[in-house]
A and B are shown apart, each in its own frame.
Chain A
């Protein structure tokens, strides 16, 4: 009985940490001023959140087969999530003709000067 409650506690911690990670990703996708920053925040938060969710599911399920299937999702997503982030940044690179203007301004003004993206 006490073992069940310990397992519930670990699941609870992992799931709440995953939700915090997802929430941080969403907040980052809203609050950063430049597209690449938003992309970075969302990609990192995604990866961390899905890892913690799958860990929570594996801990609470208790069967090896289910945990192995769940970890297959992590393996797949940890390969595909950086690839899709790469493609999204390539879209930004090819479709935004004013990207280098932003980079120029960053070199001039220092690394923490972005509030608005260049129009």
Chain B
């Protein structure tokens, strides 16, 4: 067997395996549960296609295909960038989302508090256990400050009634 046929087998096998990986990433981009998964799969398909073109340039022995791979790299980056610009807001509205989600969690805790009596030791133990670690011992972020205020308000309300 000469070296040329060995190279042919190597490059053909690599191309087949790369196309199988591209098919897998295509399936991932179709069934991805979040938008990030889909964009991630598109990004990865771009990289796999670039490596396909690079291997193909050696299989066909045409060096200009490397230029095509370079252009493809630029275009795939721009596509990911444009799609990201659609989803990243210009004004940063992350705080609004987080406030809504915190309201949800407070509603859940309020439901649990109404089931057990709010002054009882089981309720206090449960509340302490479901706090994340950085909130324990009154140390932490504004999240911790919020729950602390809630607890003090509830204590005041309990003493009033």
Contacts and interface: CB of A to CB of B under 8 A. Distances in A.
Interface magnitude class on chain B: 35 or more
Given A19-B14, A91-B35, A108-B133, A29 B28 contact: yes
Nearest to B9: A12
Interface string A76-99: 110011011101111111111110
B44 A92 contact: no
Most buried by A among B28, B33, B51, B73: B51
B67 A69 contact: yes
B81 interface: yes
A92 B159 CA distance: 44
Contacts of A117: 33
Contacts, number: 155
A73 B40 contact: no
Interface residues of A, number: 60
Contact of A98 (B3, B70, B101): B101
Given A42-B43, A50-B51, A91-B36, 14 more contacts: A1-B3, A22-B21, A26-B24, A26-B44, A29-B25, A35-B34, A57-B54, A83-B77, A84-B77, A84-B84, A94-B87, A95-B36, A95-B87, A117-B33
Interface of A: 1, 4-5, 8, 11-12, 15, 18-19, 22-23, 25-26, 29-30, 35, 38-39, 42, 46, 49-50, 53-54, 57, 60-61, 63, 65-66, 69-70, 72-73, 76-77, 80-81, 83-85, 87-98, 100-101, 104-105, 107-108, 117
